[in-house]
Amino acid sequence: MIIDILSWILLVSGGLVGVVGAVGMHRFPDFYSRQHATGITDTLCAMLILLGLGLQAEMSLAAFKLALIFLFLFITSPTASHVLANAAMHGGLKPKLDGTDGEERS
Amino acid sequence: MMAFRYGVILFVFWLLLSGHFEPLLFGLGLASVILTIFLMKRMNVIDHESYPLHLSSRLPAFLAYIFREILNANIDVMKRIMTSSGKSISPRMVEIPLPQKTDLGRAIYANAITLTPGTVSVELTKDKIIVHALTKEAADELFTGNMAKAIPDQAIDK
């Protein structure tokens, strides 16, 4: 029962964090700063939801598989973000920095 | 010898993923692990880089550190999203030193930077790493070098 409540709290707060990340993606001004907002969904949102699901699975093989998803997500998602940012940089997309207007293609 | 250790790890991994203990499937799993190890030995990819077991003793402390960092950074970025329509940011590109010498250490460091929201590693050079930081605070935090110190950078003994 307590585990159920705890897992629900984790799942719901994970969902809310995901929504905040989505809001941030629309509010932030340019490609690079939007990546920070999606970073929230990649990390804290995924953490909370997987932890909540893990509590539902209790001590089973499913929990172990969830832990593996967690592990792989934490290795692959920053790599994907880095590649995306790197490609944008090499493609000539200028970041909108503090005090400049940027975001024009050179 | 190293191949044998990885074989044992692979087999335990197979057991945990499949959950089958019947003789036939058990045998098939064992056969596939042996085949995998055989192929890996021929491809010469069994080394400390593909299986960084020598770092595993430092893993718990590192995970505890990185999860704390991720949590703090998440809360900070979320606050900035929800207050003042996402205007309270001061994005900047900074070059921070890259003290890690091994490729593995560099990859871990760059990934750790990207994992904490507020900083994304954009470009790596030989001894510098170009980072897009969402705020001045996030950039300053990287310049303190606390994260670089937490990253293991042990030489690979061949």
Q: Which of B132, B135, B140 to mutate to test the interface with A (most CBs of A within 10 A)?
A: B132
Model pLDDT, residue B158:
35
- What separation, in Å, do the N-terminal and C-terminal C-alpha atoms of chain A show? 59
Instruction: Read off the tokens for A40.
Output: 């929230």
Model pLDDT, residue B48:
67
Of all residues in chain B, the one with the smallest CA distance to A21 is B78
Instruction: Read off the tokens for A33.
Output: 């700063």
Cβ distance A34 to A89 under 8 Å?
no
Element (H, E) at A63: helix A61-90
- Which is higher by pLDDT, B155 or B9? B9
Classify residue B126 by its DSSP letter.
S
Q: What is the pLDDT of residues B34-76, one digit of tens each?
A: 999 889 888 887 776 666 777 777 778 888 888 888 898 888 8
- The interface pTM score, or ipTM, of the predicted complex is 0.78
How far are the Cα atoms of A35, B54, B74, B79, B135 from residue B117, in angstroms, in the given order? Answer: 8, 29, 6, 12, 11
What value does the mean pLDDT take over residues B100-117?
85
β-strand B128-133 against B92-97: which pairing, if any? antiparallel
Instruction: Read off the tokens for A50.
Output: 């997987």
Predicted confidence (pLDDT) at residue B137 exceeds the cutoff of 50: yes
- Cα–Cα dist A102/B92, whole Å: 12
* CA distance, residue A1 to nearest chain B CA (Å): 27
Instruction: Read off the tokens for B21.
Output: 């203990």
Extract the residue ranges of chain A whose pLDDT is less than 50.
Answer: 101-106
Predicted confidence (pLDDT) at residue B86 exceeds the cutoff of 60: no
Contact A43 B117 (CB under 8 A): yes
Instruction: Name the pTM for this structure.
Output: 0.80
What value does the mean pLDDT take over residues B88-114?
84
Q: Which residues of A touch B114 (CB under 8 A)?
A: 39, 78-79, 81-82
* Residues whose CB is less than 8 angstroms from the CB of residue B129 and which lie 6 or more positions away in sequence, other chains included: B95, B96, B97, B98, B109, B110, B113, B121, B123
Model pLDDT, residue A27:
85
- Whether B43 has its CB under 8 Å from any CB of chain A: the answer is no
Model pLDDT, residue A35:
87
Of all residues in chain A, the one with the smallest CA distance to B107 is A79
Q: What is the pLDDT of residues A15-42, one digit of tens each?
A: 999 999 898 888 888 888 888 888 888 8
Residues in chain B: 158
Tokens 């790596």 appear where? B124
Model pLDDT, residue B156:
45
